[in-house]
C-alpha cells in the first residue's frame, strides 16, 4: 500500500496521542498563545498612552491603524514563539502538533495582514462595501485552502497536476500552474503598489509646507509610477518580454486618437488644473450651472459640494475650456446684497446707519469691510434700498447669512416703526352704472321661456 502525505500525517497524530509528549506540546501551544496575547496587550496599552500624552492628540484613524497593527502582530508573535519552542522540543520528542500550529498562526497573520491592506486601499474612510467583503472572503478561502494543502502535504501533487494541464497560446503552450503563478504575482504586486501609493498620499497630504495642488500632483504621479513599476516587474517575473508592449502601445495610441479623446483630455486637464494652481481643494467656484466647494480633484473629474449637500461631478475639460468663477482664488471675501423696500415717508438719513449697524452685528459678516446701505431706485410702491456686506467664508454658503441679515433688518424696522410698502390697487368705475330692473330690485325674476 502506497503511503500518502495525508496518511502519514494521520499516522503521526495517532502515534502522538498514544504518548504523553502530546500533553507537553499542547501545554507549549497554550503558553505561547497566552504569552503573545499578554505581550501584545501591554504593547497596545503603551502605544495608546503614548498617543494620548503626545502634544498633538492622535486621531481616531491613527488609533484604529494601531489596533489593526496589533491584531496582525498577535499571530506573528505566537508563530515566532512556537517556532522557538519547536526548535528546543524537537531534540527530546516529536513535535507534529507544533508543526501544524505554526502554519495555522502564520495563516491567521497573513489573513489579517491582507484585510489590513485591502481596507487601507479600498475602505480608507471606513465604508466597507459588499465588493470589499467579497474580496476579503475570497482572500480568506485562498489562504486557508493553500495552508490546508501545505499541512496535508498535497501541495506538490496539486502543482504537478496543474503543470500537466497545458493551454495553447499561439505557437507556445503554457501550463495552468504558470498562468496561476503569473496572476498571483501581478495581483500581489499591484495590491502592494496601491498600498504604497495610499501611504504616500496620506503622508503628502499632511505636509503643511507644500501647496495643496502640488501635494495632489505628487500623490497622483507617485501612485501612477508605483503601479507602472509593479506591472513591469510582475511581467518580467512571469517571463513576458517587455518589448511586446511596444505593439500594445501603438494600438493604445490609435484607440486614444479615435475613441478616448475625451478621457485623455480630462486626464491632461486634471494635471493642468493642479499645476497652474487655478483651483485648489476648498475653493468655492461656479462653472456653468454648478456652484459649490471643491472637495476632490481627480484625474478625470472634479467634485463640487453644493450648499444643499448635492455633489456635482464636473469633467476637468469643462474647467479648462470654459469660464470659471473662483470666489477664493486670491481673496476669499465676496460681496452680497439684500434688497429692502421702504415707504416714501421714511427718513433715509436716520434709518441707513441703523440698518448698517444691525447688519454688522450678524455673525459671518466681515468687520474689516463694514456694511453699506444704498438707495437703488424710486420704486412704484416705495424706495428700493440695498444693504451690501462682505463675508470671508463663501464655502459655508450664502443662504444662511442672508436670512440672518434679513431678520436683523426686520427687527430694526419694527423697533423704529418704519413701514414696509406693499402693492395696493384701487378700482374706480368711470360713469353712472345703469339702474337695476324693478323685478330685480324686489328680488323677483320671471322664468325664461314661460308665458304669464
> Mean pLDDT highest for which of 50-64, 167-181, 393-407?
393-407
Question: Would you place residue 358 in the very low, low, confident or very high pLDDT band (cuts 50, 70, 90)?
Answer: very high
Question: Would you place residue 339 in the very low, low, confident or very high pLDDT band (cuts 50, 70, 90)?
Answer: very high
pLDDT of 219 reads: 80
pLDDT of 116 reads: 84
In angstroms, rounded to a whole number, what is the distance separating the alpha carbons of residues 306 and 120?
Answer: 28
pLDDT of 127 reads: 66
- Radius of gyration of the chain from Cα atoms? 39
pLDDT of 183 reads: 83
In angstroms, rounded to a whole number, what is the distance separating the alpha carbons of residues 130 and 100?
Answer: 33
* pLDDT of 55 over the 60 cut: no
Question: Would you place residue 450 in the very low, low, confident or very high pLDDT band (cuts 50, 70, 90)?
Answer: very low
CATH topology of domain 334-415: Alpha-Beta Plaits (3.30.70)
In angstroms, rounded to a whole number, what is the distance separating the alpha carbons of residues 126 and 60?
Answer: 11
pLDDT of 260 reads: 65
For 413-446, the DSSP string reads HHHTT-------------SPPPPPPHHHHTT--P
The set of cell numbers assigned to 445 is 325674476
Of the candidates 232, 218, 319, 330, which has an alpha carbon nearest to the alpha carbon of residue 270?
A: 319
* pLDDT of 58 over the 50 cut: yes
* pLDDT of 190 over the 70 cut: yes
In angstroms, rounded to a whole number, what is the distance separating the alpha carbons of residues 340 and 346?
Answer: 12
In angstroms, rounded to a whole number, what is the distance separating the alpha carbons of residues 216 and 195?
Answer: 17
Tell me the mean pLDDT in the region 180-202: 83
Residue spans of the domains in the chain: they are: 1-164, 257-326, 334-415
pLDDT of 338 reads: 93
The set of cell numbers assigned to 55 is 502634544
The set of cell numbers assigned to 207 is 505636509
Question: Would you place residue 360 in the very low, low, confident or very high pLDDT band (cuts 50, 70, 90)?
Answer: very high
* pLDDT of 6 over the 70 cut: no
* pLDDT tens digits along 389-448: 999 888 787 888 999 999 999 999 999 888 888 777 777 777 766 666 665 555 555 454
* pLDDT of 255 over the 70 cut: no
* pLDDT of 102 over the 90 cut: no
pLDDT cut 70: percent of the chain above it: 81
* pLDDT of 381 over the 80 cut: yes
* pLDDT tens digits along 225-250: 888 888 788 777 766 666 666 666 66
In this structure, how many other beta carbons lie within 10 angstroms of the beta carbon of residue 341? 15
* pLDDT tens digits along 130-152: 777 888 888 888 888 888 888 77
| Residue range 257-326, CATH number | 2.30.30.60
pLDDT of 28 reads: 87
Of the candidates 4, 80, 13, which has an alpha carbon nearest to the alpha carbon of residue 40?
A: 80
Residue 278 vs residues 218, 306, 324, 399, 413: alpha-carbon distances, Å: 17, 19, 10, 26, 43
Mean pLDDT of the chain: 80
* pLDDT of 25 over the 70 cut: yes
Amino acid at each position: 500500500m502506497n503511503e500518502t502525505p495525508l496518511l502519514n500525517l494521520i499516522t503521526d497524530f495517532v502515534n502522538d496521542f498514544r504518548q504523553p509528549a502530546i500533553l507537553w506540546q499542547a501545554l507549549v501551544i497554550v503558553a505561547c498563545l497566552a504569552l503573545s496575547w499578554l505581550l501584545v496587550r501591554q504593547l497596545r496599552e503603551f502605544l495608546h498612552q503614548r498617543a494620548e500624552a503626545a502634544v498633538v492628540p492622535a486621531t481616531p484613524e491613527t488609533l484604529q491603524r494601531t489596533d489593526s497593527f496589533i491584531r496582525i502582530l498577535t499571530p506573528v508573535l505566537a508563530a515566532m514563539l512556537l517556532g522557538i519552542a519547536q526548535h528546543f522540543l524537537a531534540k527530546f520528542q516529536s513535535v507534529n502538533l507544533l508543526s501544524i500550529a505554526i502554519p495555522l498562526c502564520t495563516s491567521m497573520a497573513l489573513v489579517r495582514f491582507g484585510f489590513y491592506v485591502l481596507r487601507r486601499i479600498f475602505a480608507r474612510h471606513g465604508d466597507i462595501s459588499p465588493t470589499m467583503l467579497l474580496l476579503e472572503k475570497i482572500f480568506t478561502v485562498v489562504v486557508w485552502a493553500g495552508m490546508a494543502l501545505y499541512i496535508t502535504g498535497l501541495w506538490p501533487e496539486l502543482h504537478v497536476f496543474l503543470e500537466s494541464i497545458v493551454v495553447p497560446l499561439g505557437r507556445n503552450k503554457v501550463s495552468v500552474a504558470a498562468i496561476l503563478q503569473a496572476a498571483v504575482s501581478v495581483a500581489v504586486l499591484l495590491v502592494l503598489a496601491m498600498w504604497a501609493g495610499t501611504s504616500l498620499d496620506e503622508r503628502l497630504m499632511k505636509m503643511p509646507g507644500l501647496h495643496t495642488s502640488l501635494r495632489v500632483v505628487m500623490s497622483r504621479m507617485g501612485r501612477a509610477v508605483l503601479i507602472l513599476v509593479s506591472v513591469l516587474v510582475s511581467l518580467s517575473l512571469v517571463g513576458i518580454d517587455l518589448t511586446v508592449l511596444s505593439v500594445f502601445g501603438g494600438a493604445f495610441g490609435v484607440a486614444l486618437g479615435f475613441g478616448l479623446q475625451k478621457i485623455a483630455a480630462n486626464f491632461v486637464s486634471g494635471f493642468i488644473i493642479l499645476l497652474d494652481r487655478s483651483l485648489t481643494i476648498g475653493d468655492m467656484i461656479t462653472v456653468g450651472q454648478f456652484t459649490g466647494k471643491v472637495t476632490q480633484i481627480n484625474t478625470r473629474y472634479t467634485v463640487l459640494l453644493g450648499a444643499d449637500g448635492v455633489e456635482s461631478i464636473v469633467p476637468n475639460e469643462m474647467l479648462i475650456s470654459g469660464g470659471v468663477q473662483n470666489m477664493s482664488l486670491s481673496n476669499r471675501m465676496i460681496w452680497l446684497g439684500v434688497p429692502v423696500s421702504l415707504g416714501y415717508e421714511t427718513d433715509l438719513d436716520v434709518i441707513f446707519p441703523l440698518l448698517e449697524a444691525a447688519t454688522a452685528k450678524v455673525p459671518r459678516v466681515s468687520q474689516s469691510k463694514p456694511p453699506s446701505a444704498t438707495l437703488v431706485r424710486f420704486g412704484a410702491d416705495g424706495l428700493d434700498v440695498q444693504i451690501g456686506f462682505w463675508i470671508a467664508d463663501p464655502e459655508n454658503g450664502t443662504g444662511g447669512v442672508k436670512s440672518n441679515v434679513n431678520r436683523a433688518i426686520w427687527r430694526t424696522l419694527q423697533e423704529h416703526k418704519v413701514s414696509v410698502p406693499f402693492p395696493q390697487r384701487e378700482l374706480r368705475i368711470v360713469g353712472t352704472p345703469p339702474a337695476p330692473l324693478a323685478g330685480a330690485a324686489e328680488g323677483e325674476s320671471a322664468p325664461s321661456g314661460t308665458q304669464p
